[in-house]
Structures are given as C-alpha cells and as structure tokens.
Chain A
Amino acid sequence: MRRNLSFTLNGAPASAEVEGEATLLTVLRADLGVFGARFGCGLGQCGACAVLVDGRVEAACTLSAASVEGRAVTTVEGLGTPEQPHPLQAAFLELQAGQCGYCLSGILVGAKALLDANPAPSRTEIAQALDWHLCRCGVHNRILDAVALAARRMREAAA
C-alpha cells in the first residue's frame, strides 16, 4: 500500500514512502519533519495548514499526498528565514501582526499567493483572500495592514 512520492518542497527535491490515503499534512509533518503547516481542524475549515501547490493555496490537511506527485509545494519555510525573511514575514514582525501565532504560517502562505497574483490588492481584496483563514486572537486588522505594507515594499523593490 505504501508508495514512493516525489515532489518539490520549497524549491528542493523531496521524497517519502507514503500510505495511499495519507494527506499532504501528514507527509510534511510526520515523514519530512517540516512543521510550518499546522494541524488545526483536519477538515479544511480553518486555514492553519495552508500550503501552495504550484502556486495555488490548498488545505494540506485534506489534500491527498499522492496528488502532489511531481508538483511544487511551498510551506511557510519556503518564504524566508529569520536571517532573510520574506517581505511578508518582515512586515508581520514590524507591525507585530500576531498574538499566539498558530494561524500565521497559513495566513502568510495565503498572502503570498494573493500577492503573486495581485501585487497591489485593496484592503477588501486582502480580507477576501484571507477570509478562509481563522484567527482567534483577533489580530485581523494588523494582518491586513502587514500584507498591505509588504505589498507596497515589494512593488517598490520591483520598480
């Protein structure tokens, strides 16, 4: 029942022996030791496990691992590092856009997908793009501000 799965994870080749029914979240956390995508609900309802698959936001907790064969998966670890943060991570830190932080890696990944598609989103567009993601601490406004700040910085850097 186990089969070899090969895909690209945060820009590098990754492979694992996986059960046929395994979810991508299980493979990331249990087999590959990549913990940025978090377990929140297991039903795709909260966004804590969000990852990008070929640039599209997906709930890793319900996505079959087999479906990412040969594709490119990005988790929050693929955005940046503490030494070289992605502009989104830098903006979240600058505006202290977080409390407990459990929702943030999913939100950062969701925001990256938005900015890749729309470099100058309005506040309403950011809120709509992130609407799937739940945040219980109530940091929504700071998160919207941080995404807007990162978008501005990225536009300036590209100009």
Chain B
Amino acid sequence: MIPANLQANPRLDRWVGFETEGRVRVAFGKTENGQGVQTALAQMAAGELGVAFSRLDIAEPATELVPDEGTTFGSISIETSGAAIRAACAEVRALVLAAAAAKLGCAVGELDVLDGAVVRAGTPTGETYWTLAGAVDLTRAPTGEAPLRGAAALAVVGDSEPRVDLPPKLFGAAFLHDLVLPGMVHARVLRQPGRQARLLGLDEAAIRSAAGEEVDIVVDGAFAAVLCGREADAERAIAAAAASARWENAPDVAPGLSEAQTLKTLPSEVFTAGAAEPEPSNRRRHQASYGKPYLAHGSMGPSCGVALFEAGRLTVWTHNQALYPLRRTIARVLGLDPDAIEVRHVQGPGCYGHNGADDAAVDAATLAVRRPGRPVRVQWRREDEFAWAPVGTAMAFDIAGELDPSGRLVDYTAEVWTGPQTSRGHTLAEAALPGDIPPAPPLFPPPPPGAPRFSAGLFNALPTYDIAATRTVEHVIAEPPVRTSSLRGVGGPPNIFASEGFVDELAEIAGQDPLAYRLAMLSDPRGRAVLERVGQMSDWPRRWETGTGRGLGISYDRHRSHGARCAVAAEVDVDAQVRLVKLWCAVDGGLIVNPDGAKNQLEGGVVMAASWTLKEQVKLGGPGIASTTWDDYPILRFSEVPPIEVELLNAREAPAYGLGEISQGGTMAAIANAVAHALGARIRELPLTRDKIAAALLAG
C-alpha cells in the first residue's frame, strides 16, 4: 500500500533527486521546530536509499521545493512522513536497480546499493545513483511494488546522528527573526481587542509625533498597522497607536473564567459514546472532578512573519508548522490564487503547536499586498504573543468508576469539558479586515461518511487498561472566553493527568499499591514492560507511608490509546510548595530512528509538563488575557529542574511511533500522584501552587 502522503504527492522527484554528483536531495513537507524531525526523516531516507547520511542535502521546506504534507503536528511525522519518504526512496532504489540490471544484463535480485554505488555480490559495478540518474524517470508515480528494506537493514536508522539544524543556532544569526531583505520595512499590527471590536479612531498626529513623519499608517476596518524603515520607530509608533486607539465592543472578560471548572457554566454541545449506563448495583462507586487551566505555548521568541508582494505574486517567510495549509489560509483571507503564493519555512523558536507564527505570517501578507514591492517584516512583541496567540484550552473532568469486590476497576465514565483543541486556519486578521472573507474551515469538521466522530478533547479520556465497560461524555464549548488551539499533545496530556490521578484514587480505595493495581488490569505485555521498568528505575518497592511530606507517584498511558507506551515516576518534597526530587520515564516507542533525539524530545516533554503541573496558568481579564509577561506567567527554571532518567524499550521493533508529545501526560499525573502521596491529600486542579497546597492541607 502506498502511504497517504506519497499518494497525495506522487511524483518521486518531489521527494528525492540526484542532481549533483555524489549528493542526494531529499525533501519533506514537515517543518523543523527544534524537535529533530529533519534529521530523523533524513536518516530514514538514507537507510532506505543506501547512502551515507552525510551525502544528503535536506531542502528547507518551501511550497515550491517540498511535497504537501499538511501540518507538522501530533507526534505523527515519523509515522506518516517517515512512511512516505521510505516508500519513495524504495521506489527510487528499485527504479535505479532495474536500470542497472538492464545495463549490466543481470537480474535485479543480484544487485544492491552501497553508499550510492550499485554493487553485485558486494563488488562495485561502476554504476551509481548518479551514473544512472539520466536513465530513470523520477517524475513518475510510485508503483506500490517496491520492497522496503527491513528495519534491521536500515543501517542508518538507530544511530544518534547529530541534529542537522542545531549548529547554526549556536553561532549567531539562525532564525527568521534575523532575516534581512533589501528594502525591508518593519511593521507592527495593532491588535483588535476581540473579534467583534470596531476601531473608531486613531490619533495619527500622535503616531507621527512619536515615530517621525515617515511612518506609514495602514487602517482597514479594524485592522491597523504601522510601517517604518527602522524597527525602533515602528515600536514607538505602535505604542502611540495603542495608546490613542478608540474601540467599540471590546470585551471585558471576567478573571474568574480563568478557572477550568467554569467551563461547565458555558454553552456546549454534548456527545456521548461507549457502553450503556451501568445498571444500579451494590458495586463500590467513586467520583471526582479534575481541572486543567488555559496554558500558553510560551515560545521563547515572539512570532515573526515576512512577506513580499511583487508582480502579482506573494512570497511569505514563516516559522510556522504548516506551509501548505498557511498558503490556503492566506489565499482565502486575502482573496488570492494559492498558486500565486509561495510559502517558505525559516527556522524559528519552538512553537509547540499553534502559537502566533501563522498570524504573524498572515499579518505580514496582509500588509504586503497593500504595500507592494517592499518586503514587510512583522515582529510581534512579547505581550502580543502572550495576549493574542491561541492558548491551549482549559479542560474540566468529572470521572466516575466502579470497582468489583476485589477492588478492580470494571466500569469507567469520563465526562470532559473542553474548548476547541485546534483552530488552525483561523486568523486574527480576518476578523479585523472589512469585506466578505470566505469563512474559515469549521472548528469541528464532521467526520468522513462512515467514520467515527473524532475529537482531540477525548484523546486518552479513557485510561488504557482492561476495563469491562467504558463511556465518554464530551461537552464541546465552541466559544470559550479566549481563543484556543493546539498545544503539544492537545487533549491527551490533560486527560492523562485526570484519569491517572483518578486511578491512583481507586488504588487507595481498593487498599492496593498504585503500581500493582495498574499492572493487575494491564494485559498488554509491552505496556506492562514500561510500567515495570519505571518501577525498577524509581526503586518503587521503597515507597513509604502516605503523608510524610515526601512522595513517590507513578503513571501509565498509551499515546492516543494506540501509539507509544509511556510510564513515568516522580519523587517530590512538599512543604509550602513542591520541589521535584527526580523523574523517571520509560517509553516503548517502537523503532527508534535517532535514540539521542528521542531522549531529548522525551526529556523536554517531561520538563514542559512539570512546568505546566507546578506553575502555569493563563490569567484572563480585560479584552482577553491579562498575563502578558514572564513575571505573570512563570515557567520552570534551571534551579527547579530535577535529574531526569529516560529509557527506551523495544527500540528496534517496527513500527516507529512518534515521541514528541508522549511524556507530558504521564509526567503531569506522576507528579500530582506524588504530591498526593506526600500530603495525604489530593489536589485535583492544576497548577499545584502554594495556595492549593495550603488549601488541601486545611481541607484534609
């Protein structure tokens, strides 16, 4: 079967080429955001082609240079893009070997490729990818017949190749933010305070007085911007514009809506699935409510976009995760033909989902078409990124479980309240611009005919154990008080935090050890293996009595119930606040392409999730978000990050599962479970701050 991404981009020369002697051009539609995806995909290509990794030239994604692989998201690049690049390379290898066999007058089966050279019984034939490049037609589509090398034969896969994108980032200019184009102007956009707000007026004289007479002021409906030759002038201009702007219909969001449980008070659509309600019985039943607040992506660099409109063609430079989708969005918002738009990816700060990068690119494109001929650079300020980039939605959970007489979990109900988990393709600019802009794609697209309903809000809503009866009730809040979209892991990690906390409560009710309780309802041998391994890593049998101020907690999940298996253990000290002592993480992600890169991703996920768990909450207020500096939105610091051990199990076992968002949910739950063990009282609302600890101890 031909992988979907290759079917969608069937020309083999979109993926691979041999234009330069001794070099191999490879192209993927996935963007590098510091997660090492380019390196891992290139390793798969090198392995399948049979060339040294160092021979590869990896195309920086641009719509004219790489296949359309949609959005880089969901920890699926290795599965989907990796499958496509391997299949494409296998097709290319087969074509070249067939051409070599015809030329040499031998059977294809006698030939193989060794570092780009065609060999027969291990002996060079004089033919190579480059001597035969002219003899094969790479513009053709795949046959679906080319055999893949077995995982074990993929020599380059499993090596920790150093990341190809990292070195430039240590020596100076490296990011889109550092791009300088001839004649470039610097723009700042005045953000519309809510989608309904109307701009009544700006004091243009005040703006000119602040920034000089050359400032170019663009006002189109509620979309207003300033453009200057010097960036410092644009900074002063936007400050003056913001101070003088008069708005109508700006919202005033109640700060109380920052709390996750308030989702239950908002209008929602309800979807139920799973087993029928349990018959009334005398089984032990337990219920609890959990909550996770709105979270910021917290990219280290505020978003940036650059665009140039010239001779009817628009070129956009972006650091987003979705080149072709962004092209479609810009075409829709600006009324352009997608074929007249080229989108080029340039490295940027980690975005961890849908942050401000897409909006900054649309801002730049919007201004570029109004000011043709000069590149327009839009740089968001820190307060723009915190206030106007989408945030990860708050979620609330009511969970109920029933235990059989032995204490085993036999019936489980997850009731989930969530805002939109993704709003990709929706932009700030389109709400502000006048005119009839075609509507953005639906936030909740209906499933294809015959397919089940799909909702990221239900990822991992059900714990991945053997439970006789399970059901979900999902309350989808289409209009939460703030714009929400995908954040690393979307609904999965918060659901794991809630469900694995609840399973810990059940173990306590059943009077059983939390690790043994989980293992007793987990038949999947690979799941058991990671859980047992994290038990060994954390020396679980030493676990002590509850309520001593020191805690050890554990968690297990399977990514979206069918991907990588992950177990996490956490040790904490709790007095007035939580101090992380150590974290352990065992993962079975199947075939690991780049072990060092995998561990880097998993450990990074552990740290980010620890930060979410202990510190982070977006504070609402005013027109939307009130927490607009790092002082308002603290994250984990160097002195707070504990030692972390990560182990990979079954690393040569195909298939390869994605790992970029595997470790967060388990980390959240293990830390919360450790804190409950330390305190002898459970906190079910994140973050686990000083105030919540004090309240839990008082209530206990």
Interface of A toward B, CB cutoff 8 Å: 19, 22, 26, 29-30, 33-36, 38-43, 45-46, 48, 75-77, 80-82, 85, 89, 92-93, 96, 98-105, 108, 124, 126-128, 130-131, 133-144
Best-surrounded residue of B166, B170, B177, B643 (most CB of chain A within 10 A): B170
9 A-B pairs with the lowest CB-CB distances in the bound complex, closest first? A138-B607, A101-B169, A100-B34, A100-B350, A138-B604, A102-B349, A35-B173, A99-B34, A35-B178
Given contacts A43-B382, A101-B169, A136-B608, contact A141 B641 (CB under 8 A): yes
Tell me if B301 is interfacial: C-beta within 8 Å of chain A: yes
Q: Within the complex, which residue of B163, B167, B178 is in contact with A82, where a contact is CB–CB below 8 Å? A: B167
Contact with A along B599-624 (1 / 0, CB 8 A): 01101111110010000000000000
* Residue numbers in B under 8 Å from A41 (CB-CB): 302, 382, 629-630
B635 in contact with A136 (CB, 8 Å): yes
A98 in contact with B162 (CB, 8 Å): no
A134 in contact with B382 (CB, 8 Å): no
Give 16 CB contacts A-B under 8 Å: A26-B231, A30-B231, A36-B172, A43-B630, A76-B171, A85-B171, A99-B34, A100-B350, A102-B299, A102-B301, A102-B350, A134-B300, A136-B635, A138-B606, A138-B608, A140-B607
Q: Within the complex, which residue of A30, A36, A92 is in contact with B173, where a contact is CB–CB below 8 Å? A: A36
* Residue numbers in A under 8 Å from B637 (CB-CB): 131, 134
Best-surrounded residue of A99, A100, A128 (most CB of chain B within 10 A): A100
A139 in contact with B172 (CB, 8 Å): no
Q: Is the interface of B mostly helix, strand, loop or mixed?
A: loop
Q: How far is the CA of A101 from the CA of B173 in the complex (A)?
A: 11
B638 in contact with A131 (CB, 8 Å): yes
B170 in contact with A101 (CB, 8 Å): yes
A33 in contact with B162 (CB, 8 Å): no
Shortest Cβ gap from A28 to chain B (Å): 11
B349 in contact with A100 (CB, 8 Å): yes
A30 in contact with B232 (CB, 8 Å): yes
Contact with A along B168-187 (1 / 0, CB 8 A): 11111111011010000000
* Residue numbers in A under 8 Å from B631 (CB-CB): 43, 45
Given contacts A40-B300, A43-B382, A100-B34, contact A137 B174 (CB under 8 A): no
Given contacts A30-B231, A105-B170, contact A128 B604 (CB under 8 A): no
A100 in contact with B177 (CB, 8 Å): no
Best-surrounded residue of B352, B603, B643 (most CB of chain A within 10 A): B603
Shortest Cβ gap from B40 to chain A (Å): 13
Shortest Cβ gap from B452 to chain A (Å): 34
Taking CB atoms and an 8 Å cut-off, the chain B residues in 141-174 that contact chain A are 160, 162-163, 165-174
B600 in contact with A96 (CB, 8 Å): yes
Shortest Cβ gap from A12 to chain B (Å): 15
Q: How far is the CA of A108 from the CA of B174 in the complex (A)?
A: 15
Contact with A along B314-357 (1 / 0, CB 8 A): 00000000000000000000000000000000011110100000
* Residue numbers in A under 8 Å from B180 (CB-CB): 33
Taking CB atoms and an 8 Å cut-off, the chain B residues in 161-217 that contact chain A are 162-163, 165-175, 177-178, 180
* Residue numbers in A under 8 Å from B605 (CB-CB): 138
* Residue numbers in B under 8 Å from A140 (CB-CB): 607, 636, 638, 641
Contact with A along B259-293 (1 / 0, CB 8 A): 00000000000000000000000000000000000
B639 in contact with A39 (CB, 8 Å): no
Q: Within the complex, which residue of B177, B231, B298, B381 is in contact with A136, where a contact is CB–CB below 8 Å? A: B298
Shortest Cβ gap from A70 to chain B (Å): 22
Q: How far is the CA of A26 from the CA of B636 in the complex (A)?
A: 28
Shortest Cβ gap from A124 to chain B (Å): 8
Shortest Cβ gap from A89 to chain B (Å): 5
* Residue numbers in A under 8 Å from B352 (CB-CB): 136
Best-surrounded residue of B177, B230, B300, B629 (most CB of chain A within 10 A): B300
List 9 other contacts, CB 8 Å, given A75-B172, A77-B172, A124-B639: A35-B172, A39-B379, A40-B302, A85-B170, A100-B169, A134-B635, A138-B608, A138-B636, A141-B643
Taking CB atoms and an 8 Å cut-off, the chain B residues in 373-389 that contact chain A are 379, 381-382
B610's nearest neighbour on chain A, judged by CB, is A138
Given contacts A19-B232, A142-B600, contact A36 B171 (CB under 8 A): yes
